[in-house]
Amino acid sequence: MPNPSHVPVMLDRVVALLAPALQRPGATFLDATLGLGGHTEAVLERCPEARVVGVDRDPHALELAGERLAPHAERLTLVHAVYDEIPDVLDDLGLAHLDGVLFDLGVSSMQLDVRERGFAYAEDAPLDMRMDDSVGRTAADVLNTYDVGDLARVLSRYGEEKFARAIARAVVKARETEPFTRSARLVELLYDTIPAPARRTGGHPAKRTFQALRIEVNDELGVLERAVPAAVAATPVGGRVVVMSYHSLEDRLVKRVFTAGTSSTAPHDLPVVPADLEPPLRSVTRGSEKATAEEIAQNPRAASVRLRAVERVNTNRGDHAA
């Protein structure tokens, strides 16, 4: 397998947000989306008190990250799991809580850079798109088995594709002749199906369809919807959760969880809010933060990032844990 490139997005800002929670003796940090380990490497170097648990559903990422992080092996535990399995990971490791959690969502640098994984539409490759390529259905399976209605739903919901139904009809018709196996044929179909005026705006015409298929194959939004509340529930007072999203569907879901956790459940007309109705979280970012123009110039993948972070301030449950 080729050696992929890896430039961690918003590295200094992420570590700065996590560091206050990780400076205390015995602190535990969980990188829920380890990838090639760039953020975790920086945490290990800059937060010497922290023990780190690195989680990834991609066994290839775990192998490469393990090699990169070998100098810190005594403070590092690698776990092959999907990040909505945080409670199980804690139980298996005998951990009571997590002082810091990071989610760097979406497709990783490694998965994009390795052509055979099928995530990138710029090169012809097998239509796989599984983050763990040892289990589950592939993008080809979705294209070759879903009916028009289900395909249109996936493309519309997860890709926000205006021409979802036309694309779905074209896919179902084309697979009658030959099943879909490679990305170039799908890209060609998208060019033929999406009207020319629409192709000239909004980026590559395959971008939305590939995003939608990837999210469907990996159940990314379902996993995220379970994972973020689980991460928040695992943090003690002073613990922080940092999330980096790369499209609006992810960011809206994260914002909803964080807003619930930072909002008081007390009636608005109460002159004094009882302690048990105070929100359990506080925001440590002002809304969602973006990468600087300088970073985007150095790392184009940072252009779409939206970063949000919260800190637990009391042990109240809040709506986020409901």
- Beta strand pairing status for 240-245 and 306-312? antiparallel
In the structure, what pLDDT confidence band is assigned to residue 111 with cuts at 50, 70 and 90?
very low
* pLDDT tens string 142-158: 999 999 999 999 999 99
* pLDDT tens string 214-244: 999 999 999 999 999 999 999 999 999 999 9
* pLDDT tens string 240-292: 999 999 999 999 999 999 999 999 877 777 778 778 888 999 999 999 999 99
Q: What is the dihedral of CA 229, 230, 232, 238, to 10 degrees?
A: 170
* pLDDT tens string 84-103: 999 999 999 999 999 999 99
9, 302 contact by CB (below 8 A): yes
Considering the chain, what percentage of its residues have pLDDT values greater than 90?
75
Helices (H), the chain: 11-22, 38-46, 59-68, 86-93, 109-113, 139-145, 148-159, 164-175, 183-193, 196-199, 207-218, 220-233, 248-261, 293-298
Is 104 labelled as part of a ligand binding site? yes
Is 38 labelled as part of a ligand binding site? yes
| 167 Cβ contact partners less than 8 Å away, ≥ 6 residues apart | 151, 152, 155, 161, 189, 190, 193, 194, 209
Is 111 labelled as part of a ligand binding site? yes
* Ordered domains of the chain (ranges, CATH): 11-111+220-321 (3.40.50.150), 116-218 (1.10.150.170)
Is 56 labelled as part of a ligand binding site? yes
pTM: 0.88
Q: Which residue has the tokens 């705006």?
A: 201
- Give the amino acid at 33: T
